[in-house]
Structure 1
């Protein structure tokens, strides 16, 4: 009979378990994308909880089943409150529940902002690796100097070990300098340079990672970009619909990214279709994607952020916790049968 025990993992435990596990996380994210492209997943529409008078604040419920050799389900409940930064708090917080697909019962509950950030960074780096030849990349440009781009940097350094320079731009020069100091801890041999404008940062590198808190498009041009630059549009709402349609577009899930007023959604509404999207990252990884459109001046990768990635990385975390006997186990979390109460 299946155990009723539930594992509880706190944030610092999750952090310790995933430290140095970049290869395992990249592999889990890759397999999740591939499984999704083979239609062995289920992800109902995300639930967006919003609040009167607060345009940027939201809490999102991401429910997912990940099949294949994972065969696990769960839900991530993640909040984004950008105003927290002014209070000295993290912008995002999250909790995640993993469920058995044999009994439906919860197996684990864990802090998930770390998982969320690392799966996001890993997904962006994985896409970059398959969209931009390794020999081209000795520098990166990061626009937005928060946790998401820090984790993106972590995984880009893993897939592009020849990186020498990281160029940074943020509306807050203080945050950019703070990011520099943190990046030196991550990779002391990599040189960080803070750029004064977005345009200056754009010119520096073949890979540009966007991770801002923008809620509406504010960029109409990528003038000055390097030839066939790859733009990791993780924040989803930076670019105007016209700019999106100028690029060679790759996404993680066409239906999901064409929703919730993302830049790609606005472009699809403008065009009346989503034919401007060439393919998905899952099809690229499975070898089923059309070739790169060489007529387009740049590639834009717009990942909606799939719940299956959280489930994949949470499953890795759960397995590591069991192996290392980390976390607190509640053997009697569930009640007795109603017949025994």
Structure 2
């Protein structure tokens, strides 16, 4: 049991420090007492990136190859997803980068990209140009409302990792194959899938969950775009956090506070 607490403040970027802070609290399942508090930004980023890389593998026909990867929003989460793709063996010929701040894209190119592993890595000023050119597209922005509405941009049927959940107009989803991590979770807070549900009054546009794809209960093909929209399962953060805690304890790197609780005997 536990608590995942992420405070996201996009204006932090203008203040010169990261957008979000994260804390994970792990609780004893029998007593409810917390036994660990962890800084969780990396835990959450790693979990997000792992789910994205897993989805990319299964939704790309279990192949690890992309002609051109496009990244929209070149921040902290994008860096982790990129690293997970490369470290799990993806061959990516070209990388195209776009961010509202071109300086952020340049920084990503120079500090995060492994230039030797790609034929080209370019910063693209126009997001529409990026979408048209890429067969694997990653959205990791801080958008609160859809900013891409032209469904014709996706006529080449790319695989879209829609991690930030609110970039695409519902009309784009309605013309695509949609895979999510959990149907009920993703249909809230005006995510793009939630807007599509509100527009149609149903959830029939959802092809299935990633688990459905992996277990063979559902399938996707390249006749239409494939969009993966994961809300992010907090229980997975807790599982990763517990693994990190166990590793810290096993290696003697945990910091124990014996007097954290005022009273432990009654």
TM-score calculated relative to the size of structure 2? 0.92
Q: Deviations over 1:208-257 (max 9, x none)?
A: 00011111112112434474311011111111111111110001111111
Structure 1 gaps of 5+ residues are 1-72
Distance in 1 of aligned mates of 2:116 and 2:38 = 31
- Aligned with 2:206 (options 270, 277, 286): 277
- Residue number among 135, 144, 148 corresponding to 2:73 in the alignment: 144
The 8 Å contact of residues 84 and 90 in structure 1, kept in 2 or not, is answered as: yes
Deviation at 1:334, TM superposition (A): 3.0
**5 Å matches for 1:118-197?**
118-133=46-61, 134=63, 136-184=65-113, 188-190=116-118, 191-197=120-126
Q: CA deviation at 1:330?
A: 1.9
**Out of 250, 254, 257, which is 1:323 matched to?**
250
Greater relative contact order (CA < 8 Å, ≥ 6 in sequence) = 1
Q: Does 1:84 align with 2:12?
A: yes
Structure 1, residues 58-94: CA drift from partner, whole Å, max 9, x if none? xxxxxxxxxxxxxxx1101111100010010100001
2:33 aligns to what? 105
Given the alignment, which residue of 212, 221, 232 partners 2:141? 212
Q: Deviations over 1:127-166 (max 9, x none)?
A: 1111013254243110111111111101111234322332
User: CA contact under 8 A between 1:142 and 1:149: conserved in structure 2?
Assistant: yes
Give the whole-Å Cα distance in 2 for the aligned partners of 1:276 and 1:293. 15
CA distance in 1, matches of 2:33, 2:225: 46
Counterpart Cα distance in 2 of 1:226 and 1:272:
25
Match of 1:114 in 2: 42
Residue pair 2:64, 2:90 contacting (<8 A) in 1 also: no
Q: CA deviation at 1:338?
A: 5.3
User: C-alpha root-mean-square deviation of aligned residues, in Å?
Assistant: 1.9
Classify the secondary structure of the residue corresponding to 2:112: helix
Bigger shift: residues 229-238 or 321-330: 321-330
What secondary structure is seen at the aligned counterpart in 2 of 1:109? strand
What's the offset of the Cα at 1:337?
A: 4.3
| Corresponding residue SS for 2:4 | strand
- Alignment match, 1:231: 160
Cα distance in 1, alignment partners of residues 142 and 128 from structure 2: 18
Q: 1:322 to 1:188 in 2, by over 3 A?
A: farther
8 Å contact from structure 1 (residues 138, 163) kept in 2: yes
TM-score computed with the length of structure 1 as normaliser: 0.73
